């Protein structure tokens, strides 16, 4: 039976740095670990047909409200400006390569 991972992600205290970039390295690490586990499961014979990150955009979440952020795209709630986070670039690299690239050590 095919399996599909949906809504996999983590809450974090993301912010826009002085350089205008959102370096959500905690989420990049989280996604890397989970995508690497998914790739190992496929190599071991699991019929994993899909993986969807939660969430594309920061939004209101029932448990945290607007305090924690879940998306791979930062949303300035006051202006609605969107800024792709480091995790968005990482996830795009995974999709483009159809492989989990190594993550640079901190």
32-77, pLDDT tens digit by residue? 999 999 999 999 999 999 999 999 999 988 888 889 999 999 999 9
**∠ CA 68-69-73, rounded to 5°:** 165
Bridge partners of 8, per DSSP, are 53
Nearest to 30 by CA among 82, 73, 72, 67: 72
Average pLDDT, integer, range 14-34: 96
**pTM strictly above 0.85:** yes
What span, in angstroms and rounded, lies between the C-alpha atoms of 39 and 51?
Answer: 10
DSSP H helices, 2-98, are 25-43, 86-97
pLDDT computed for residue 105 by the predictor: 54
């Amino acid at each position: 039976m095919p399996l599909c991972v949906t809504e996999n992600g983590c809450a974090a205290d993301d912010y826009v740095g002085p350089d205008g970039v959102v370096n959500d390295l905690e989420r990049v690490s989280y996604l890397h670990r989970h995508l690497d586990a998914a790739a190992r499961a496929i190599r071991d014979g699991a019929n994993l047909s899909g993986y969807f990150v939660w969430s594309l955009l920061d939004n209101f979440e029932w448990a945290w409200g607007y305090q924690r952020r879940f998306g791979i795209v930062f949303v300035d709630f006051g202006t609605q400006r969107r800024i792709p986070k480091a995790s968005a670039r990482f996830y795009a690299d995974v999709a483009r390569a159809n492989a989990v690239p190594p993550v640079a050590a901190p």
